[in-house]
């Protein structure tokens, strides 16, 4: 076997081979990077021969050249493929954190392209022709939709919490109810972020009950803040007591320099509760109660890009804006463009608000979901008659760690293959381009059409057909 090594073509010969320039042109790769791939594959083949793992009975120079360039081509194709790409969400979970949370509205996408392609007035005041602030891009709009005195935007809500605690609570005590020391998505813990920020956590109450007096007794001369955290991803039921925002505002106002900050988690600008969906407080109503600061995510129920929005009292917001961390945590022009366009929909007509895919998907009428299901079923039964396809009523989740107790009635399709297991089928759907992610329940594939758009139906039919 080892003598096969002498059939290996020398690298200078491979460098001049026409297959190399073909790969360079097909994949738009630089010649240097393709030569690197050739060298790496040549090494692998040589090592394979010497260790006896290389499979091949009739080695000749041309055989090795062919094998080598075949392998280089596979590598070149992998190298030029995009890692981040479109996925069809067949889970029905509207804010799927693993699948990128909110989809953006058309206006937001257009605005992102506009500022990406062109120069913009990101930090330029067009009226005066002088330097402006990127906070100005969005502040008036947030004030309008939330009713707050002032506002700013940072990278995400976790960054907002960190900035507020570090800038206004470092070295002093911040009171939080034990029932609100939440963990969100595994990597965000209120207690840990508080420790990192330098603020001293003062826990009060118990897991299920915290009273007004618990807060009052905990306040001392070293207390800077009372913080309320939205228990986004769980509900406590039974023998429970939390102190309402209104009461916490009252306690705070009795003490000079004490700040009341509420981390709203998702923060809704649209009243989902009026559709009987959850009981999320609308940001405007929370601001009206007199809280000093609130913060919330841009890409949860708001339906915008990843961002953390801070709104509240002008004096506190200007302190936050001046803080060094504000520069560290600032957002880019593309985020601002998308957020501005999304926020523009709020405070307009109901139709405008429904242009935001997150809002639309959550309040979607089951009849519309059923129409998509019917369309898919008739197509798939034609294209892949061997599949067993059933229409079922089921429930979707809102997701993103929001509204954990809300079950949205939906229509799903249950699919089984005559020979393939549900896990095999799910794997093939994931490997399809575009990738399709579904639920598996009792050995059956479940596709929830709440989160599947009409344009994607033929793509899913084609995927099943190819399987």
Ligand X SMILES: *Cc1c(COP(=O)(O)O)cnc(C)c1O
CA distance 103 to 9: 51
Out of 148, 165, 184, 194, the only residue in the binding site for ligand X (CB under 6 A) is 184
Residue 427's alpha-carbon distances to 217, 233, 421, 443, 458, in angstroms, are 56, 29, 10, 13, 19
CB-based contact 167:158 (threshold 8 Å): no
Residue facing ligand X at closest CB distance: 265
Does position 188 bind ligand X by CB under 6 A? Answer: yes
Both tokens of 246, joined, read: 């209104």
Q: Nearest-5° angle of CA 403, CA 103, CA 235?
A: 10
Which of 259, 369, 239 is closest to 312 using CA atoms?
A: 259
List the beta bridge partners of residue 391. Answer: 413
Hey, is 312 helix, strand or coil?
strand
Q: Does 232 bind ligand X (CB under 6 A)?
A: yes
Subset of residues 144 to 163 that bind ligand X, contact rule: CB under 6 A: 156-158, 161
Q: Out of 42, 229, 282, 380, which residue is the one contacting ligand X (CB under 6 A)?
A: 229
Segment contacting ligand X (CB under 6 A): 48-56, 262-270, 282-290, 436-444?
Answer: 262-270
| C-beta closer to ligand X: residue 45 or 167 | 167
Tell me the two tokens of residue 178.
């034990």
CA distances to 116, 148, 362 from 450, in Å: 31, 34, 8
Residue in 93, 297, 358, 384 binding ligand X, rule: CB under 6 A: 297
Question: Which of residues 90 and 401 has its CB atom nearest to ligand X in the complex?
Answer: 401
Task: Indicate the residue among 124 and 188 with the shorter CB distance to ligand X.
Answer: 188
Whole-number Å distance between alpha carbons of 16 and 298: 53
Instruction: Tell me how far, at minimum, the Cβ of 56 lies from ligand X, in Å.
Output: 52
* Cβ closest to ligand X, residue 179 vs residue 308: 308
Q: 2, exposed or middle or buried, with CB in 10 Å at 0-12, 13-18, 19+?
A: exposed
User: Which 94-113 positions form the footprint of ligand X (CB under 6 A)?
Assistant: none
User: Is residue 177 a contact residue for ligand X (CB under 6 A)?
Assistant: no
The yes or no reply on residue 263 touching ligand X (CB under 6 A) is yes
Among 57-65, 135-143, 251-259, 261-269, which window interacts with ligand X (CB under 6 A)?
261-269
Specify the DSSP class assigned to residue 222: T
Q: How far is the CB of 369 from ligand X (least distance, A)?
A: 26
189 has which bridge partners? 183
Nearest-approach distance from CB 185 to ligand X, in angstroms: 7
Question: 50 vs 47, 64, 170, 426, 454, CA distance in Å?
Answer: 5, 15, 63, 40, 55
Q: Which is nearer to ligand X, 161 or 369 (CB)?
A: 161
Q: Is residue 180 part of the contact set for ligand X (CB under 6 A)?
A: no
Select 96 or 372, whichever has its Cβ closest to ligand X: 96
d(CA 340, CA 280): 22
Near ligand X by CB under 6 A: residue from 169, 303, 312, 401? 401
- Total residues contacting ligand X (rule CB under 6 A)? 15
Q: Would you say 48 or 404 has its CB closer to ligand X? A: 404
According to the binding rule CB under 6 A, does residue 228 interact with ligand X? no
Take residue 325 and report the two structure tokens written for it. 């961390």
The answer to whether residue 308 forms part of the interface with ligand X (CB under 6 A) is yes
230 is an interface residue for ligand X by CB under 6 A: yes
- CA 454, CA 456: separation in Å to the nearest integer? 5
Q: Say which residues have a Cβ less than 8 Å from residue 18's Cβ, sequence separation at least 6.
A: none
Cβ proximity to ligand X, 88 vs 174, nearer residue: 174
Tokens of 405: 């107790």
Could you give the CA distance from residue 358 to residue 375 in angstroms, rounded to a whole number? 23
Closer CB to ligand X, 402 or 451, in the complex: 402
Residue 399 binds to ligand X (criterion: CB under 6 A): no
Binding mask 61-80 for ligand X (x = CB under 6 A): --------------------
d(CA 444, CA 413): 10
Q: How far is the CB of 159 from ligand X (least distance, A)?
A: 7
Binding site for ligand X (CB under 6 A): 156-158, 161, 184, 188, 229-230, 232, 263, 265-266, 297, 308, 401
């Amino acid at each position: 076997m080892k003598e096969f090594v002498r059939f290996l073509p020398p690298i200078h010969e491979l460098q001049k081979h026409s297959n190399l320039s073909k790969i360079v042109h097909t994949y738009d790769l630089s010649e240097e990077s393709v030569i690197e791939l050739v060298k790496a594959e040549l090494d692998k083949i040589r090592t394979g021969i010497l260790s006896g793992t290389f499979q091949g009975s009739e080695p000749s120079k041309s055989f090795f050249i062919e094998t080598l360039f075949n392998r280089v081509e596979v590598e070149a194709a992998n190298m030029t493929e995009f890692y981040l790409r479109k996925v069809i969400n067949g889970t029905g979970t509207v804010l799927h954190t693993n699948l990128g949370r909110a989809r953006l509205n058309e206006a937001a996408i257009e605005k992102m392209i506009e500022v990406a392609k062109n120069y913009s007035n990101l930090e330029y005041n067009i009226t005066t022709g002088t330097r402006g602030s990127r906070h100005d891009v969005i502040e008036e709009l947030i004030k309008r939709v939330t009713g707050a005195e002032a506002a700013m935007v940072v990278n995400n809500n976790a960054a907002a919490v960190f900035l507020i605690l570090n800038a206004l609570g470092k070295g002093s005590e911040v009171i939080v109810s034990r029932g609100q020391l939440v963990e969100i998505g595994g990597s965000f813990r209120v207690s840990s972020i508080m420790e990192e920020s330098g603020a001293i956590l003062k826990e009060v109450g118990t897991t299920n009950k915290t009273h007004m007096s618990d807060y009052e007794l905990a306040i001392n001369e070293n207390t800077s803040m009372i913080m309320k955290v939205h228990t986004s991803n769980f509900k406590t039921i039974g023998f429970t007591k939390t102190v309402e925002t209104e009461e916490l505002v009252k306690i705070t106002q009795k003490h000079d320099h004490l700040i009341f900050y509420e981390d709203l988690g998702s923060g809704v600008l649209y009243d989902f509760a009026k559709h009987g969906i959850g009981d999320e407080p609308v940001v405007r109503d929370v601001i009206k109660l007199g809280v000093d600061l609130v913060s919330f995510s841009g890409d949860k129920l708001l339906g915008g890009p990843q961002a953390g929005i801070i709104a509240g009292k002008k004096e506190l917001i200007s302190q936050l804006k001046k803080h060094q961390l504000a520069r560290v945590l600032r957002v880019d022009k593309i985020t601002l463009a998308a957020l501005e366009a999304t926020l523009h929909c709020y405070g307009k007509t109901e139709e405008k608000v429904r242009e935001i895919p997150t809002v639309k998907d959550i309040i979607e009428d089951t009849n519309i979901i059923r129409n998509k299901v019917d369309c898919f079923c008739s197509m798939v039964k034609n294209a892949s008659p061997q599949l067993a396809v059933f229409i079922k009523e089921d429930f979707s989740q809102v997701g993103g760690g929001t509204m954990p107790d809300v079950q949205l009635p939906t229509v799903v399709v249950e699919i089984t293959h005559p020979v393939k297991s549900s896990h095999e089928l799910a794997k093939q759907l994931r490997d399809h381009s575009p990738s399709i992610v579904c639920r598996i329940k009792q050995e059956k594939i479940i596709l929830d059409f709440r989160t599947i758009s009409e344009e994607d139906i033929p793509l899913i039919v084609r995927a099943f057909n190819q399987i």
